[in-house]
Amino acid sequence: MEFLTAQGITMAGNLLYGLLCVRLLPISDYAKFAVVFGTLGTLTLLMDINFSGTLIPLIGERVTDYQLIADYVASLRQLARRLFILIAPATIILFPLLVHRQEWSWRVVAAMVAILLAAAWCARISGGYGAVLIVCRDRRMWYRAQMISSLGTLALLGVFWAFHWLNAFSAILINVAGIIFVSQAYYFRARHLLGVTGNASKEKCKEIVHLALPNMPNAIFYALQGQLSLLLITIFGHASAIASVGALGRLSQIFVLFSQMNPLLLEPYFAKLQKARLKVNYIGVLVAEGIFCLLIASLARYFPQLFLWVLGHNYSTLHFEAFLAVSTGCIGYFCGVLWVIHSSRRFVYWWNGMLTISLTLAVQVIYIWKADVTSVRAVLTMNLVTALVGLLINVLTGVYGFVWGPRLRVGIGRKSHA
């Protein structure tokens, strides 16, 4: 109930913010908004590459050892700095090339780059220090910071609209202000909870990298190709197509509330679940989630106007495109459930990442070669097939994990299935 009320309010505010931007911003302005936050999603993943996700499995049952947690957090911070040193120059060089066709002025592009770098760093802080709040079971503050950010940005959006100040950059900056607020709230709260200063060490960095390493190629790959549809439309298409893909992407926000439940509730639950109860609970969760996803996809197929109405009249004719977008979101959400459970049990292996990358690339190369990637429908169809490939690999990973057991910690030989 705490999750559904606090996090539900947060997600409702975020969803309403995004949908109001779709409705209130002209197509040309919403295209800028979509490109910035699509790129930010990629940078946020590259700034972490699953490092923050290792904190809960590495801590395990030692949740009262605050010095240990602080040391792991300090090591995470050290790894993040190294990543930022690589990512910042690449962003400065590559982002202007990405948006070159749109003929935006250099001042507009430079402002976008500055916003992206600042927001990506703050999102990294939220991921690392937010994990501390989850480990220490301070969910109340975890929820509160996001709820204040969500409702605050929504209120600011209303003020800017009322005074006719709303444009692409004001909408972007209001959202970024919310990201900064959450990062600072998590940072100071985590420091207060731990009460000790962490010390980064080579050993702990090595543990983090070792556990994250099998998922790293997959994380980097999905960071780069997760926004591939928007990337292709941005490079080859026009502002109207960019806005359509970005607006349809907002439909996947219906899964955000449930996706937030995975690391907060599913991952800690399955991480400490006794082996004897694992299979029954695993199957039960997947059956329930599968029924939910099929229901949402069926609604999008037979009643697309239920989803398109919220996007406004500019996008009211995209009936089949809405079905494609929602179906892709359903599959992506289900894959997220599988991935969180597998990670909590250390079902992370080199082969699944390599197989995912190779099969996904094969599908995408065929679509880019054969299809008209300037078409919104073709790009969304490519996303759907790609999501099905990811689902197949996640299912195979679960089967392999139950048969052969989890990936072991550094320096531990394989003696039994954990």
Token digits of residue 410: 């550094």
CB-based contacts of 182, cutoff 8 Å, min separation 6: 122, 126, 130, 145, 146, 149
How many other C-beta atoms lie within 10 A of the C-beta of residue 328?
25
- The total of other beta-carbon atoms located within 10 Å of residue 359's CB is 15
pLDDT of residue 2: 66
DSSP 199: -
Cα–Cα distance for residue pair 243/35, rounded to 1 Å: 9
pLDDT tier at 409 (50, 70, 90 boundaries)? low
- pLDDT tens for 179-236 read 999 999 999 999 998 888 888 888 888 888 888 887 777 777 777 766 666 777 676 6
- Provide the pLDDT confidence category of residue 414 given band limits of 50, 70 and 90: very low
Residue 398's CB is within 10 A of a number of other CB atoms, namely 19
| Distance, CA of 252 to CA of 174 (rounded, Å) | 21
Q: What share of the chain in percent tops pLDDT 90?
A: 24
Give the separation between CA 230 and CA 258, rounded to whole angstroms.
24
pLDDT at 157: 95
The length of the chain is 418
- Dihedral of alpha carbons 107, 108, 113, 116, sign: positive
CA distance 101 to 124: 30
Using a 10 angstrom Cβ sphere, with 0-12 exposed, 13-18 middle and 19 or more buried, the burial of residue 323 is buried
Q: pLDDT band at residue 4, thresholds of 50, 70 and 90? A: low
Check residue 160 and give its pLDDT. Answer: 95
Question: Which pLDDT does position 97 carry in this prediction?
Answer: 87
Residue-level pLDDT at 30: 86
Structure tokens at 13: 């505010």
Q: Which residue has the tokens 């169809």?
A: 381
Q: Which residues in 264-283 are b (16+ Cβ under 10 Å) and which e?
A: bebbbebbebeeeeeeeebe
Which among 411, 137, 144 has a CA at the least distance from the CA of 272? 137
Q: What digits encode the pLDDT tens for the residues 247-267?
A: 887 777 777 667 767 776 777
pLDDT, tens only, 325-380: 899 989 989 998 998 888 887 787 777 777 887 888 888 788 778 777 777 788 88
pLDDT at 417: 42
CA pair distance 301, 321, nearest whole angstrom: 10
To 5 degrees, how large is the angle CA 225–CA 16–CA 321?
45
Q: Tell me the pLDDT band of 418, cut-offs 50, 70 and 90.
A: very low
Q: Which long-range contacts (CB under 8 A, 24 or more apart) does 198-201 make?
A: 198/67, 198/69, 198/70, 198/71, 198/72, 198/73, 198/74, 198/75, 199/70, 199/71, 199/74, 200/71, 200/74, 200/75, 200/77, 200/78, 201/71, 201/75
**Which pTM does this prediction carry?**
0.70
- Nearest-angstrom CA–CA distance, 60 and 197: 20
The pLDDT value given to residue 298 = 93
Burial of 85 (0-12, 13-18, 19+ CB in 10 A): exposed
**The dihedral formed by the CA atoms of 368, 371, 376 and 381, expressed in degrees to the nearest 10:** -80
Structure tokens at 249: 């992407």
Cβ neighbors of 204 (< 8 A, separation 6 or more) are: 71, 72, 75
Rounded CA-CA distance 81/191 in Å is 19
